[in-house]
Structure 1
Amino acid sequence: METIAAIATPRGAGGVGVIRISGPRAREVLAAVFRPSADIAEFRPWVLHHGVVLDDDGPLDDVLAVYMPGPRTFTGEDVAEIQCHGGVFLVQAVLEAVLRKGARAAGRGEFSRRAYLNGRMDLSQAEAVAELIAAPSREAVRYGLQRLEGELGRRVEDLRVRLDQARVQMCLAVDFPDDEVECLPPEEFDGIVRDVADGIASLLAGCRRAAVMQEGAPVVLAGGVNAGKSSLLNALLGRSRALVTDIPGTTRDFLEECVNVNGLPVRLVDTAGLRESGETVERLGIERSREKVTQADAVLILLDGAALGEEGATATVCPDAAALEALKLAGDLPVLLVWNKIDLCRPACFPPVWAQGRPCVMISARTGEGVDELASRLHDLLLRDAEARPPEDGLAPNARQALALERALEEIKALRGDIRAGRSYDCLSVRLDTALAHLADVTGVDTPDEVLNKVFSSFCIGK
């Protein structure tokens, strides 16, 4: 392979910049641009050396350099790194000096791709590298680390090997029907397939929660005009982001902001108050509000406690027309009813009679009272489903891996049906091979180049 190089630290000025070199000429390229401050016969592997990096015009910077021989490196190749001062021009100048001495500029994710191709990690581990870098929360970091350590790949490979062993026994029975070859009984075959299906289902159980942790959950603030949606958005953000006035219909369009809710990344969406309006712009904003409610992971329905009064919670039917519409739009989505403005009026009973067991919380978005409890309730609401909770080891697949596992599970379920229907082993082998191929996609066994290109194109340059 060619020797590649790239800046491994983020763009922009910083205290330190790192240029990474990987490939068969890594040591040669490093020696060509680096002059050590002390006489050394050769680079001591895995030891930082102090010196000066040079280009064709002379010294560039005072640096530290390290040479790391393969295969015990990230890429499995010889690797060298130069740590220079982190000025934008300086880091780029050092990289250009390295490229002029025989290295090629690395593409997106090329270091991780080489690690995968050289057997240093499977595809699920390579993806974990990018996910760990982009992790928006501590829980997302935990999931990324678990996959990076290879536990997900090992679990999937174990399932694949168990299916493959059954396939070998099937092939022997099909290819040598006249020989005394021990045939896999259908009952035993079905038992193996069932156990593999259970293992796949266990891995898929944490997919939803992992997606929330990695990407953030869209949560819509819905309700009538002047219910306090924008005030609550500002209270959760800890700053004034949305315009708040006493004029009904101030919010004309949705406003989206990201916030960390007890360790959970959440995308809060403030929407226009639900009501009938003859004004064109407001009417368009209300239609967008309705659309956003149906696309949310959870809905906070705000009730104007001051308008409903003390007895507003004792009715058998919700007296807030906008809240009723929001409940209908939300359907089966998780909903948290938020009685706002308790600084002006507290309900006579709580939770409201008409809530019918739905989770409720009382707050004052203006004073902040109850907002911490709301954040805690929202966190639990988003993660409350038992099916959304991953195993304690955090082995939750990402979207690509989950799709491959789901396809494998579909084939296995159909395979079990064919086994019970008494299909011949040569027919059963078709579904079995397909399931094996989908499991192999998770870890990248025989993965086509187009899939690899798509995976690694999402990586940053230098990783």
Structure 2
Amino acid sequence: MPTIAAIATPPGAGGIGIVRLSGPQAKNLLARMFLPLSPRFENFRPWLLHRGRVIDCKGEALDDVLAVFMPGPRTFTGEDMAEIHCHGGPFIVQAVLENALRLGARQAQRGEFSRRAFCNGRLDLSQAEAVAELIAAPSREALRYGLNRLDGLLGRRVLALREELEALRGQVCLAVDFPEEEVECLAPEAFARAVNRVALAVRQLLAGQKRARIMQQGALVVLAGAVNAGKSSLLNALLGRNRALVTEIPGTTRDFLEEACTLDGLPLRLTDTAGLRATDDAGNAVESVEELGVALSREKLRQADAVVLVLDGARLGPEGAKARVCPDPAAREALELAGEAPVLLAWNKCDLCLPAVFPPRWAGAMPCCAVSAKSGENVEALATALRRLLLAGSLEQPASDGLAPNARQALALERALVELEALAADLRDKRPYDCCAVRLEAAAALLGQVTGLSSPAEVLDGVFAQFCIGK
């Protein structure tokens, strides 16, 4: 493998800039670039920072630096590595890199350091992806998720499931190759139980995909309800500042308003929408502005990861919660549009009117909170309930975060699950074992794609192309 070099720190000026080298010539190139200042310097003692000057090909000093040599295989890439820590001016860092390239190093490609770590067995593919996810983590939750994935939690779990399938393949091959021999082989009932056990474990992994996406990309939370229910006021209360215009005039919000925030480390996109109602201009040749706003509200409800359904408690009155069916037509429409998205019921204006019973009888198992957006009463409790809703009721399970697959991994798991379910159906239909072995092999290969054991080159190229040059 050629020795590669790249700038490992972000573009622009900074206090420190790092040029990283990896490959068999890393130590030799570092020695040719580095002039130590200490008279006691002895041939780059591993893992120790040495102070000196970087010199160019003409022997002229470029900068006062710290340099370190790290011998493989116990490095990030599994190869010999070296780093030069210079001052972070763009010209200085680029000059150090260009000097390394003139001496024989090759410019690293995107993600090449991480790809070498994968190829040398230092990381599996799920851990390599976690490196990029850690760098791009937008919140504390995403950071915790990435760290757990980097520890290999998901990779070890998927590898264990794949090993179960490989063990089944061995027993199936024995039964197919020696059908008339008196050897111990897998009974159909035990075969089916093992396949169903692996399928269940795959479903459990897939259940965490939405949680992972929310932690990495943030959740779209839509505030919906009738006009003048207090959606804009509740948005302002959750943000802690006046972002949305609030008036007593019905239909003040004509367009959706989206604001990014974090909820105890969880990234959110809070969306205030126009109140749902039939507008006065319905049926006219030219749609009104409000009609367009209501149409956007309906579209946002269909896209939502979660919905905060805001009820006007003052208008519904104390008896509004006793009804067997929701008395608010706008709320009924919002519930229908939300589909499978979880819904949190916010009984607003509780400072003006408390419900006779709470939660409302028609709410069923829906989580509910009585709040006052105007006074701020119970807004913190609403925020806590919203976070719990988005994270499926689990607030204190840091280890489980590492078992949540990303989109690429989830696709491989979904395809493996299809093969396992088809295999279970074949076993119920008493298909021959040689036919079952084909699906078993396909499922094992798809699980191998999660960790990179059986990933084609184009998949690897796509993964590592998303990395920065220096990683």
Instruction: Name 1:66's counterpart in structure 2.
Output: 68
- The change in CA–CA distance for 1:177 and 1:356 in structure 2 (over 3 A counts) is closer
Match of 2:98 among 87, 96, 119: 96
1: distance between equivalents of 2:398 and 2:29? 46
Instruction: Name 2:455's counterpart in structure 1.
Output: 447
2: distance between equivalents of 1:42 and 1:222? 68
1:387-444 Cα deviation digits (max 9, x unpaired): xx89757422222222222222221222222223222222111111111111111111
2: distance between equivalents of 1:270 and 1:319? 22
1:44-88 Cα deviation digits (max 9, x unpaired): 111101112234573332221111111111011111111122334
1: distance between equivalents of 2:316 and 2:61? 75
Is residue 2:417 matched to residue 1:427? no
1: distance between equivalents of 2:67 and 2:38? 13
Q: In the TM superposition, what is the alpha-carbon distance from 1:181 to its structure 2 partner?
A: 4.7
2:16 is paired with a residue whose SS is strand
Q: Is the 8 A contact 1:209 1:390 kept in 2?
A: no
Greater CA deviation, 109-118 or 14-23?
14-23
2: distance between equivalents of 1:77 and 1:85? 26
Q: 2:275 corresponds to which letter in structure 1?
A: G
1:321-354 Cα deviation digits (max 9, x unpaired): 43332223224432222233445x2235253646
2:413 is paired with a residue whose SS is helix
Q: In the TM superposition, what is the alpha-carbon distance from 1:311 to its structure 2 partner?
A: 5.7
1: distance between equivalents of 2:95 and 2:288? 56
2: distance between equivalents of 1:246 and 1:15? 53
2: distance between equivalents of 1:26 and 1:166? 45
- The change in CA–CA distance for 1:197 and 1:306 in structure 2 (over 3 A counts) is closer
Instruction: Name 1:183's counterpart in structure 2.
Output: 185
1: distance between equivalents of 2:69 and 2:214? 40
Normalising by the residue count of structure 1, what TM-score does the alignment of the two structures yield?
0.90
Instruction: Name 2:199's counterpart in structure 1.
Output: 197
Instruction: Name 1:366's counterpart in structure 2.
Output: 374
Q: In the TM superposition, what is the alpha-carbon distance from 1:220 to its structure 2 partner?
A: 0.3
Instruction: Name 1:43's counterpart in structure 2.
Output: 44
Q: 1:74 corresponds to which letter in structure 2?
A: F
1:409-424 superposed matches below 5 A: 409-424=417-432
Instruction: Name 1:264's counterpart in structure 2.
Output: 266
Instruction: Name 1:379's counterpart in structure 2.
Output: 387
| Coordinate RMSD, CA, aligned | 2.7
1: distance between equivalents of 2:257 and 2:226? 16
Q: 1:455 corresponds to which letter in structure 2?
A: V
Match of 1:296 among 286, 290, 304: 304
- The change in CA–CA distance for 1:250 and 1:97 in structure 2 (over 3 A counts) is farther
2:20 is paired with a residue whose SS is strand
1:201-233 Cα deviation digits (max 9, x unpaired): 343343332232222221101123333322322
1:190 is paired with a residue whose SS is helix
2: distance between equivalents of 1:272 and 1:283? 9
2: distance between equivalents of 1:91 and 1:439? 42
Q: In the TM superposition, what is the alpha-carbon distance from 1:179 to its structure 2 partner?
A: 5.5
Match of 2:346 among 319, 330, 338: 338
Q: 1:54 corresponds to which letter in structure 2?
A: I
Is residue 2:138 matched to residue 1:119? no
Greater CA deviation, 155-164 or 293-302?
155-164
Q: Is the 8 A contact 2:224 2:273 kept in 1?
A: yes
2:83 is paired with a residue whose SS is strand
Greater CA deviation, 151-160 or 201-210?
201-210
Q: In the TM superposition, what is the alpha-carbon distance from 1:373 to its structure 2 partner?
A: 0.9
Q: Is the 8 A contact 2:323 2:362 kept in 1?
A: no
1:291 is paired with a residue whose SS is helix
Instruction: Name 1:138's counterpart in structure 2.
Output: 140
Q: Is the 8 A contact 2:245 2:253 kept in 1?
A: yes
2: distance between equivalents of 1:143 and 1:410? 27
- The change in CA–CA distance for 1:49 and 1:295 in structure 2 (over 3 A counts) is same
Count of residues paired in the alignment: 460
- The change in CA–CA distance for 1:103 and 1:237 in structure 2 (over 3 A counts) is farther
Q: Is the 8 A contact 1:206 1:390 kept in 2?
A: no
Q: In the TM superposition, what is the alpha-carbon distance from 1:451 to its structure 2 partner?
A: 0.7
Instruction: Name 1:19's counterpart in structure 2.
Output: 19
2: distance between equivalents of 1:398 and 1:98? 37
Instruction: Name 2:278's counterpart in structure 1.
Output: 276
Q: 1:79 corresponds to which letter in structure 2?
A: M
1: distance between equivalents of 2:144 and 2:277? 43
Q: 2:454 corresponds to which letter in structure 1?
A: D
Greater CA deviation, 448-457 or 30-39?
30-39
Normalising by the residue count of structure 2, what TM-score does the alignment of the two structures yield?
0.88
Q: In the TM superposition, what is the alpha-carbon distance from 1:177 to its structure 2 partner?
A: 4.6
Q: In the TM superposition, what is the alpha-carbon distance from 1:276 to its structure 2 partner?
A: 2.9
1:252 is paired with a residue whose SS is coil
2: distance between equivalents of 1:407 and 1:380? 30
2: distance between equivalents of 1:412 and 1:375? 40
- The change in CA–CA distance for 1:100 and 1:360 in structure 2 (over 3 A counts) is same
Q: 1:370 corresponds to which letter in structure 2?
A: N
Instruction: Name 2:284's counterpart in structure 1.
Output: none
Instruction: Name 2:358's counterpart in structure 1.
Output: 351
Instruction: Name 1:9's counterpart in structure 2.
Output: 9
2: distance between equivalents of 1:54 and 1:366? 66
- Specify every segment of 5 or more residues in structure 1 that has no aligned partner in the other structure, as ranges: none
Q: Is the 8 A contact 2:154 2:402 kept in 1?
A: no
Is residue 2:220 matched to residue 1:210? no
Q: Is the 8 A contact 1:17 1:86 kept in 2?
A: yes
Q: In the TM superposition, what is the alpha-carbon distance from 1:112 to its structure 2 partner?
A: 0.8
Q: Is the 8 A contact 1:164 1:436 kept in 2?
A: yes
1:292-330 Cα deviation digits (max 9, x unpaired): 111112111223345555665556654544333222322
